[in-house]
Amino acid sequence: MSTHTLPDLPYSYDALEPFISRQIMELHHKKHHQTYVNALIAAEASYAKSSTPRERIALQAALKFNGGGHINHSLFWKNLAPASSEGKGNGGSLKAGPLKDAIEQTFGSLDALKKEFNATTAGIQGSGWGWLGLNPTTKRLEVTTTANQDPLLTHIPIIGVDIWEHAFYLQYLNVKVDYLNAIWSVINFEEAEKRFTEGLSSSKL
């Protein structure tokens, strides 16, 4: 029996305004993420009933797409926090600590990271995700991307940003760059630092 469920958001639907609207958050969470969960459960049930390698291979795409959608979005919600610039929370605030040190060591500054991240992520053809990942071999931070709903398997995910149109279109229309600039105001760097320190102490992806 599959136990996948839609996780609750750690804040209200309007908590990320004005950077991400309530309408987007509600649709993105209740409709899009719920669809990935439902489809993943259905694909796993079909896989459990399948009796031939051909049937199992045919289900791989659905498992990867919907499983990746569930993994990525579960991480994405925790990755965000109400904006400190609006006096609502800790979003966008990178405090002194190991993550800030590593960002400055690798990229020179947080602004330089944002510039590289936004340029790389905006360059994704079609839909996908932009990532700040920890390379498990070198223990260095790297900017990378994945297509569609593919989860990040080559690195330990530190920050992930959804660049599917459903994540921004109702507010930013087709201007991905405005969305990418805005989202840094609601990035939860405390959660990112937790993932970073855990990643340093473990070589497991």
Tens of pLDDT, residues 106-131:
999 999 999 999 999 999 999 999 99
202 DSSP assignment? -
| pLDDT at residue 84, rounded to an integer | 97
Q: How confident is residue 81, by pLDDT bands cut at 50, 70 and 90?
A: very high
162 is in an annotated binding site: yes
pLDDT exceeds 80 at position 205: no
| pLDDT at residue 204, rounded to an integer | 59
pTM over 0.85, yes/no: yes
Which of 198, 203, 204, 193 has the alpha carbon at shortest distance from 102?
193
pLDDT exceeds 70 at position 73: yes
166 is in an annotated binding site: yes
Alpha-carbon Rg of the chain, whole angstroms? 17
33 is in an annotated binding site: no
Which ranges of the chain does DSSP label H, i.e. alpha helix? 22-26, 34-49, 53-58, 60-78, 98-107, 110-122, 169-172, 176-183, 189-200
32 is in an annotated binding site: no
Contact residues for 41 (Cβ-Cβ < 8 A; gap 6+)? 2, 4
| pLDDT at residue 202, rounded to an integer | 82
Residue whose token pair is 């649709």: 27
pLDDT digits (tens, 9 = 90+) for 23-55: 999 999 999 999 999 999 999 999 999 999 999
Using CA atoms in the order 104, 106, 108, 114, what is the torsion angle rounded to 10 degrees?
-90
pLDDT exceeds 60 at position 192: yes
